[in-house]
Amino acid sequence: MNDSVNIQPQLLPWWRYLTWFFVILAFSLYWLNPDQNQPQKFSYTEFKEKVRANEVARVTLQGDQVSGSLRQIDLSKAADEKKVPLRFVTTLPPVDDPELISLLEQHRVEVHAISEQTIWWMQALIGVLPWLLIIGLFWYASGKMQKRMTGADSPWGGIFGFSKSRAKRFRKGESELTFDNVAGLENAKRDLREITGYLKNPDHYRKLGAKIPKGVLLMGPPGTGKTLLAKAVAGEADVPFFSISGSEFIEMFVGVGASRVRDMFASAKKEAPAIIFIDEIDSVGRARGTGLGGGHDEREQTLNQILGEMDGFNPNEAVVVLAATNRPDVLDPALLRPGRFDRKITLDLPDKKSRRAIMDIHSRDVPLADDVDMDRLAALTIGFSGADLENFINEAALLSGREDKENVNMASLLNARDKVVLGSKREMIIGDKEKKLIAYHEAGHALAASLLPNADPLDKVTIIPRGQALGVTEQIPEEERYNLQQSYLHDRIGVMLGGRVSEQMIFGEVSSGAENDLKQATRLARHMVTHWGMSEQLGPVAFHRGEEHIFLGREMTQQRDFSEHTAQIIDDEICNLVKSIEKEVMKLLKEHRRLLKNLAEALLGKETLEADDIQSIIDKEKVEEEDIR
C-alpha cells in the first residue's frame, strides 16, 4: 500500500451536511410550535371588538404585531364549525394606543410580550450564512484542485499543496516483488545485486572503500521490464521506494517541478536508505539548449534541480536514483556523466530461454491443457518483449473463455499469437478475382521463402484478411540473429519481392498490394548500401543523413554528410540492387511455375497453409518432376 492513498471513512460532502442541518431545523421549528392551525387575520378594529366581547383568551405582543387565541366556544352552536378560528393575528396602528393595555386587563386577557432582541441568532445567521456559503464553496473548490494537481484524496491541503512531491511511496516491506519474480535479464540483475547488497549492509561496503552509485539508468525498448526491475530492487533491498513518472514534475507554473524534486529528495533522505525511481526520465531529462522556448522553461529548471540534488548527495547517504528510458540518445550529457548516473544497464528483448521463463511466470494462474508446448511457443515468439508475452497469455485465456473451454489449449495459444502478431480477423467480402490475386501474391512469397537458401523458414501462409493486410506470409527464424549477413539480407529482399513478381508473371501486371513489401525492401536495401557498406561501387563507406533533432521534426533537420554526386550514386546502387534481386526471383518462380500454381490453388481451397502443408506440396512436386524425367 502506498502512502499517496489516504484510507478514511467515506464522508458526505460539506454541502450535504449543511442541507440536512437546515431541513432538521425547519422541522424542529414546525413541530415545536404548539399551535398547528393557521391563524386568521383580524383588523385592529375587529380585534378590539373581540376583546370587548370577552372572546379573546390571550395575546402576544411582538413589535407591531399582535397574535393570540380566542376563548373556547360551543362549536355546536356555530353555523359552520370549520369557520370558527381559535388563533388570530393583527397589526397595531402606527400611533400607540394607550387604551389597549387597560382594555386587555379589564377583560382579563392573558398578555405576553416578546422583545425583538430575542431573535438575535436569526439575524446573525442571516448575516453570516452568505459568508459561510462562500467559504464552503472555496474550500470545496480548493479540495478539487488539490486532488487534480497532487493526486491527494483529502482537500485539507488546499491549493497550496501542488508544489509537494507526487511520488508514490512504498514503505519498507510493502513491495513483495524480488528478483525471483523477474525472468531473464540475468546481466541486469547481476549489476543490481550490488546495489541491493549495499542498501542492505552499507557498512560492509564502506569498510572496503566502496561508494554506492548515485544513479542507475535502465535503458531498453518498451515492455522489457524496466519498471518491474526497479520494483524488484526495492523489494530485494527491503527499503522505502519512491516511484514517480518524469511527466509528473511538469506543471503550468514555472518552478513547481523543481519544488517537487526538492520535496521528493528531502523525503528520501529522511528515510535513507531508500530508492527513488523516475520512470520515463526523458520527458524532463532531454538535452538543454535545444528547445524552442529558450533556456528558462519549466522543464529545464526541473532538470537543473535534479542535477543539483544528485550532486548534493553526501557520500554516506544511502539513496539510489533509478531511472528508466527507451530514448537514452536524447538525454542531457550532464545527466549521464559519472557522479550522477554512474551505471547504465541495457535491457534487451528476451531470448528463447528467457521467453520460456517469462511465459511460465505469467501462466502460473492459467489452467493449461496437456497439449501445450512451451518450447514451441518460445520459438514462435521471437521479438516479443516481456509485456508482449504477458499480453499473449492473457489473450489466449480470453479466447478460451469466449469459447467456454475449461482450460487453455495449444490451439488457443496459437490463435492468440496470430491475433497479437497479425491482428484480428477482418470480416470482408472479397470477390473471386481479387481472392485469386491475393492467393498468387502470397504463394509467391511462400515459394520464394521455400526456395531461397538463406531465407527464414516458413511457418504459415494465409489469405484471410488480418489487421491491415489482405494476406500474410509468416516466417520464423530458427535461431536468434544478432548479425545479419549479406546473403541473408539478399534473400530477405527476395522474399519481399516474391509476391509482386508472382503477380507480374501470372497476370501480366502488378497491383497496389505490394506497397508495404516495396517499402520494406527499399529501406533494407538503403541500409545495406549506406550503413553496412554492401555496395560494390561505393565500397566499405557509411553515409548517414546526420543526427535527428530531438525536438523538431525529423525531415527538417536530417542533413546529408555527402555530396549530390554521391547521393545520385547511392540512389542508383539501391535501384540496381533491388532490380537485380527481382530478376533472380522472377527466374526462380518461372522455373517453378507449376509449384506456384499448386500453392495458390491450395490457398484458395484451405485459405491457410501451415509449414507442413507447404512442404508436402513442394515434396509432391519434386516427386512428380523426377517421375517425368
Residue with the three cell numbers 525471483: 180
Picking from 325-334, 364-373, 592-601, which range would have the lowest pLDDT averaged per residue? 325-334
pLDDT higher than 70, residue 3: no
As a whole number, mean pLDDT of residues 271-293 equals 73
DSSP 217: E
Q: What percent of the chain has pLDDT over 70?
A: 76
Picking from 164-178, 329-343, 438-452, 559-573, which range would have the lowest pLDDT averaged per residue? 164-178
Picking from 16-30, 235-249, 314-328, 490-504, which range would have the lowest pLDDT averaged per residue? 16-30
Among 330, 337, 285, 286, smallest CA distance to 311 is for: 337
Label residue 585 by pLDDT band (50, 70, 90).
very high
Picking from 74-83, 180-189, 403-412, 601-610, which range would have the lowest pLDDT averaged per residue? 74-83
pLDDT higher than 60, residue 384: yes
> Is residue 463 within 8 Å of residue 439, measured between CB atoms?
yes
> Is residue 351 within 8 Å of residue 384, measured between CB atoms?
no
> Is residue 451 within 8 Å of residue 495, measured between CB atoms?
no
- The DSSP-derived string for 407-468 is SB-HHHHHHHHHHHHH--B------HHHHHHHHHHHHHHHHHHHHSTTSPPEEEEE-S-BTT
Label residue 245 by pLDDT band (50, 70, 90).
confident
Chain segment 558-583, per-residue pLDDT in tens: 556 778 888 889 999 999 999 999 99
As a whole number, mean pLDDT of residues 389-400 equals 90
CB atoms within 10 A of CB 417: 18
As a whole number, mean pLDDT of residues 52-77 equals 77
What is the structure's pLDDT at 484? 87
As a whole number, mean pLDDT of residues 395-411 equals 89
| Integer Cα distance of 142 and 160 in angstroms | 9
Q: How many helices (H) and strands (E) does the chain have?
A: 21, 14
As a whole number, mean pLDDT of residues 412-427 equals 83
CA dist 216 to 209, 227, 339, Å?
20, 13, 11
Label residue 626 by pLDDT band (50, 70, 90).
low
Label residue 464 by pLDDT band (50, 70, 90).
confident
Chain segment 88-112, per-residue pLDDT in tens: 888 888 777 778 888 888 888 888 8
Phi, psi of 290 (to 5 degrees): -115, 0
Q: Count how many residues are written for the chain.
A: 629
Label residue 25 by pLDDT band (50, 70, 90).
low
584 or 41, greater pLDDT: 584
Label residue 617 by pLDDT band (50, 70, 90).
confident
Label residue 26 by pLDDT band (50, 70, 90).
low
Q: What percent of the chain has pLDDT over 90?
A: 11
What is the structure's pLDDT at 277? 84
| Integer Cα distance of 70 and 59 in angstroms | 9
SS3 406: coil
SS3 391: helix
Active site residues: 442
| Integer Cα distance of 230 and 243 in angstroms | 9
Chain segment 258-281, per-residue pLDDT in tens: 777 777 777 777 777 788 888 888
Helices (H), 480-610: 486-507, 515-530, 554-557, 564-591, 593-606
Task: Tell whether the torsion through CA atoms of 245, 251, 257 and 260 is positive or negative.
Answer: negative
| Integer Cα distance of 393 and 389 in angstroms | 6
SS3 314: coil
The mean of the pLDDT values for the chain is 77
CA dist 574 to 227, 535, 569, 570, 581, Å?
41, 9, 9, 6, 11
159 or 90, greater pLDDT: 90
As a whole number, mean pLDDT of residues 429-455 equals 89
What is the structure's pLDDT at 344? 85
As a whole number, mean pLDDT of residues 287-294 equals 56
Q: Is the pTM of this model over 0.85?
A: no
Amino acid letter, residue 443:
A
List of domains in the chain:
34-114 (3.30.720.210), 168-346 (3.40.50.300), 352-422 (1.10.8.60), 432-628 (1.20.58.760)
pLDDT higher than 50, residue 362: yes
Q: Cis bond leading into 540, ω under 30°?
A: no
Amino acid letter, residue 278:
I
> Is residue 215 within 8 Å of residue 332, measured between CB atoms?
no
Phi, psi of 416 (to 5 degrees): -65, -40
